[in-house]
Amino acid sequence: MSSHKIIIAIDGYSSCGKSTLAKELAGKLGYSYIDSGAMYRSITLYFLRNQVNYSNHDDVLNAIANINLTFVFNEQEHQSEIHLNDENVELYIRDMIVSEKVSEVAAIREVRSFAVGQQKRMGRKKGIVMDGRDIGTTVFPDAELKIFMTADPEVRVMRRFKEMYAANPHTTIEEVRNNLELRDYIDSNREESPLHRAHDALILDNSNLTREEQLKLVQEWVKERIADLKSAK
Ligand code: DC
């Protein structure tokens, strides 16, 4: 679209479609896409597999020292996939067992500083779209474009239910609703970098937008932002 590369930060509640938008936008712009939630999910998976007592500060620090997270581009799927200590864990990190614990793990200060440090490094060269909860507020407070996504809670429940049901037909709507409500509550009320809209973020409510409509709208925002930056030079 342009050789002027920027950082695009997308934040919002669980199951607002952040990663769908971020992935499609990165593809259109030729940017890299980083799913920061996948990092917290992979750390949670490691804690669960290794029975890390995450109420113990030293156990958390020792565990983090043994975690190596990388994003590897899968040419066939045209997407980057997260690897935990060289194992592709994409298939495991969306399980309900991980979803049930991830907000608790993501609220731990040491876990956040580990993940945020890596995220900041990934943005050094710009040309990146990152989605999460604190990207426009903590990770990239100077991002050139910040978007805060919302959608009607029931729309979000049904979106997530369809995804979860496809992977596991025993999933119930009630289970998905409870998980989303609890995660929203913990993510918005934790002490460390709680989810909130950056004052300069544009709000995108996609309850009644198709994927194509939201992508088109955000591509316009990107164009406008880059034009503004160029004219301010
Ligand atoms: O986007 P997601 O649902 O995959 O994120 C999983 C959890 O990780 C979410 O409940 C909160 C946490 N998270 C976070 O605290 N900060 C981020 N930047 C991204 C995710």
Question: Could you read off the pLDDT of 28-58 as tens digits, one per residue?
Answer: 999 999 999 999 999 999 999 999 999 999 9
- Residue closest by Cα to atom 8 of ligand 1: 37
b/e for 132-171, b at 16 or more Cβ within 10 A?
A: bbbbbbbbbeebbbbbbbebeeebbbebbbeebeeeeeeb
**Whose C-alpha lies nearest to ligand 1, atom 20?**
37
Minimal-distance CA residue to ligand 1 atom 3: 14
Contacts of 225 (CB under 8 A, 6+ apart): 6, 144, 145
Query: Of how many residues is the chain composed?
Result: 233
- For ligand 1, the distance from its centroid to the CA atom of residue 132, given in whole angstroms, is 6
Mean pLDDT confidence for 142-149: 97
* Nearest to 134, CA basis, from 161, 106, 170, 163: 106
Three state DSSP letters for 82-102: EEECCEECCCCCCCHHHHHHH
**Domain extents for the chain?**
7-226
Q: Which residues pair with 72 in a beta bridge?
A: 81
Contacts 24+ apart (CB under 8 A), 152-160: 152/207, 153/180, 153/181, 155/207, 156/13, 156/14, 156/15, 156/16, 156/180, 157/15, 159/15, 159/17, 160/14, 160/15
Residue 90 Cβ < 6 Å to ligand 1: no
DSSP 56: S
CATH homologous superfamily of domain 7-226? P-loop containing nucleotide triphosphate hydrolases (3.40.50.300)
Q: Is 12 in the pocket of ligand 1 (CB under 6 A)?
A: no
Q: Tokens 């669980």: give the residue.
A: 14
Residue nearest to atom 15 of ligand 1 (CA): 106
**Does the pLDDT value for residue 3 go beyond 80?**
no
pLDDT at position 167: 86
pLDDT exceeds 60 at position 207: yes
DSSP state, residue 197? -
Please say if the pLDDT value at position 163 is more than 90: no
| 9-36 confidence digits (pLDDT tens) | 999 998 899 999 999 999 999 999 999 9
User: How far is residue 167 from each of residues 83, 170, 177, measured CA to CA in Å?
Assistant: 20, 9, 17
Please, what is the average pLDDT of the chain?
Answer: 94
When pLDDT is cut at 50, 70 and 90, the band that residue 4 belongs to is: confident
156 in ligand 1 pocket by Cβ < 6 Å? no
Q: Give 94-136 pLDDT, tens digit per residue.
A: 998 999 999 999 999 999 999 999 999 999 999 999 999 999 9
- Residue 2's pLDDT band (cuts 50, 70, 90): low
Task: For residue 107, give the ligand 1 atom closest to its CA.
Answer: 15
| Pocket of ligand 1 contains residue 17 by CB under 6 Å | no
DSSP assigned state of 107: T
Q: Which residue has the tokens 């156990």?
A: 59
What angle separates helix 36-49 from helix 57-65, to the nearest 10 degrees? Answer: 110
